[in-house]
A and B are shown apart, each in its own frame.
Chain A
Amino acid sequence: MTFLALLTKELRLRLRRERTIWVVIAYIFLMGLLGWFYISRASMSNYGGYDIGQLGKQLYYLLSVVQLFLILFITPAFTATSVNGEKERQTFDLLLCSKLSAFSLVSGKLVAGLVNAFLLIAASIPLFSLVFFFGGVAPSQVLLGSLVFIITAIMVGTFGLLCSTFLARPAVSTAVTYLLSVLWVIAPVVVTYIILAVRNSNGSTQESLYVWNPVVALLSTYPDGSSFVVGSQHIPIWLTYSLISIVATIVFFFVSVYVVKPNPRLRSPRQPRTKATQPLTVS
């Protein structure tokens, strides 16, 4: 009940903003422009002799990688100011005075933020469906790629929410979310270079750095995608990525729940050490 009330309010507020519409338009425009630019270049340079299936595959690779980066950098904007935004708007105390539980507060904010991210993913489906027109991409690949998109959006969104519970200022929490998201994506590459520079390392050490990397996870959904070897088992990177991300999401979520509502009623006040001075009371 309280969750639905919060979710309804959040969706009303978010979807009424002009910014929401413009983000969707810009998102689709950018994706469409990239696809159109790629197809027209490929058509011009290989006129009459191009493998159309190969074109479809490369178009899908391009669009999916771009979509992943857009999700990485747009989703935090929907959640990284959720809780501290209420504090800045001075409405947070009013939420605390209600029957809204910390769980409902965090989940309502998260779902509302993710609805915006999923709106972008859903809006891009027609563009991705063009890929099938060219062929070269299996529906299972697209489904696995969508799984990576959704899990990435949920995890990054939850991380943004966590930052908004810890940090008081919305601008700071947004910046920290972006900064740490970028570090998360590029850290394995940097660490790999450092390892290679310092010593000759075996491949498995470097490989293990990429088991929780969204770009590598997406690439692993493509045909002949990379996998992580444990003993004799080959585990696809998208699977390790998904599992680790789900665990991280759960951790971020419950830490947010714990932080968001440090209920003062749950802490026992100390008893007074001294006797109260009697005020002048008129009866």
Chain B
Amino acid sequence: MTQTVTQTMVKVRNVSKRYRKVNALADFDLDVPKGAIYGLIGPNVAGKTTLLRILAALLQPSTGQVWIDSEEIHASPSVIQRKVGYMPDFFGVYPDLTSAEYLEFYAGIHGIPHKKQAQTVTDLLELVDLSAKRDALVETLSRGMKQRLCLARALVHDPEVLLLDEPASGLDPRARVELRELLRTLQGMGKTVIISSHILLELAEMCTDVAIVQGGRLVVAGNVEQVSRRLSGGRQLEIRVLDRVPEVVAALKEQPTISNIINHEDTLILADFVGDDTALHHTLVTLITRGLPVISFAPRSSGGRLEEVFMSITEGNSQS
């Protein structure tokens, strides 16, 4: 059965994967828009790699279906080979080959005609800024270079969807910046990129959409800013007091507009706020009229708070 979903490049429905007694994925649904850089965020063993391997058709889901560009992968297995490029969380290189030979090999086994292989390899090496290392043995490349070479390998057959499993893992800051720039270039080329990571701030910076995964389940999914705002109520309050922290916390908890108190230590309280500016004013008035020693009351932007949101969500789930 093939379903068509407008502007959705990857569609996952009711996918579960069970390894003996362990549920790696449970009733997982996901819609990845075309052209998105989609971040899968989750702690270790959350099920990110399992999901990516299912999308790459390297694993068969216990239940459920997956569509790539409206084609169900079981009904059209060739769609995976044609439209999906997969980069696992390990290098998978042949150290005794040169960079060009390595890409040439993968071009060959992806069915690129021999005459076009040389040009494909040249273009890819240029894209990942490894032209100077064309004839260098793979074993002599740095970790960041190997990572870029592997990304070039995943692109060798010009796939529409790229699956990148922890691509920034183990890279130094400079290599991470280079990788981020490369992903932006790929986005500009119209590729849909699904990228898993536990480095949340990085994903927040480079992704258009995110899905937070915990214990094999999808906790939340959507646009980065919207997810952050939705989960945090759009804003976070940073309240500093002179003392009487427990009373302030108790007063905040009474407020229906406070969805969560993330942190309160010493004299600084962070609280998730749901509501408009009138409600914000009402909260401040409540604290002042009760005589609580507020010295600072500052709503913060939701931007850059993804990590905190992630921590609060996964912590809550792990406790439940």
From the candidates A4, A270, A273, A280, name the one contacting B108 in the complex (CB within 8 A).
A4
Q: Which residue of B lies closest to A96 (CB)?
A: B58
Given A93-B58, A94-B92, A99-B110, is A279 in contact with B86 using a C-beta cutoff of 8 Å? no
A200 in the interface, Cβ–Cβ < 8 Å? no
Instruction: Check B86 against A95 for contact (C-beta < 8 Å).
Output: no
> Which residues of A from 257 to 273 have beta carbons under 8 Å from B?
263-273
A259 and B274 alpha carbons, distance in the complex (Å) = 57
**Nearest Cβ on chain B to A89's Cβ, whole angstroms:** 7
| Closest partner residue, chain A, to B163 (CB atom) | A97
Cβ–Cβ contact B86 & A97, under 8 A: yes
Q: Are A269 and B60 in contact (CB under 8 A)?
A: yes
Chain B residue with the shortest CB-CB distance to A278: B29
A36 to B190, CA, bound (A): 69
CB distance from A133 to the nearest CB of B (A): 40
Q: A6-B109, A93-B58, A97-B80 are in contact. Are A276 and B27 (CB under 8 A)?
A: yes
CB of A232 within 8 Å of the partner chain: no
**Alpha-carbon gap, A100 to B107, bound state (A):** 11
Contact partner of A16 (CB less than 8 A), chosen from B53, B61, B96, B109, is B96
B227, A269: Cβ atoms closer than 8 Å: no
Counting CB contacts under 8 A, is A281 at the interface? Answer: yes
For residue A94, give the distance in angstroms from its CB to the closest CB of chain B.
5
A5 within 8 A of B: yes
Q: Considering the chains assembled together, what is the distance between the CA atoms of A96 and B88 in angstroms?
A: 12
**Which residues of chain A are within 8 angstroms of B223 by Cβ–Cβ distance?**
282
- Interface residue tally for chain A (C-beta within 8 Å): 43
Question: Quick check: B63 and A269 within 8 Å, CB to CB?
Answer: yes
1/0 contact trace for B82-107 toward A, CB 8 Å?
Answer: 00111010111110110001001111
Bound Cα distance A6, B30 (Å): 36
Q: Is B41 an interface residue (CB 8 A)?
A: no
A41 at the B interface (CB under 8 A) = no
CB atoms of A279 and B221 under 8 A apart: yes
Residue B122 is within 8 A (CB to CB) of chain A in the complex: no
B109 touches A269 (CB 8 A): no
Q: Is B268 an interface residue (CB 8 A)?
A: no
Residue B34 lies at the interface, judged by CB distance under 8 Å to chain A: no
Asked if A98 CB lies within 8 Å of chain B CBs, one says yes
Segment at the B interface, from A7-15, A65-73, A151-159, A178-186: A7-15
Q: In the docked arrangement, what's the CA distance between A85 and B63, Å?
A: 31
17 contacts between A and B (CB under 8 A): A8-B108, A12-B97, A90-B90, A90-B91, A91-B94, A93-B56, A95-B109, A98-B109, A99-B81, A264-B60, A265-B60, A265-B77, A277-B217, A279-B221, A280-B219, A280-B230, A282-B220
Q: Identify 10 new A-B residue pairs, CB closer than 8 A, beyond the known A99-B81, A281-B221.
A: A8-B105, A89-B94, A93-B92, A97-B84, A97-B86, A268-B74, A269-B61, A280-B219, A282-B220, A283-B222
A-B interface, 7 closest residue pairs, ranked by CB to CB distance from nearest:
A5-B108, A282-B222, A264-B60, A265-B77, A276-B27, A279-B218, A98-B109
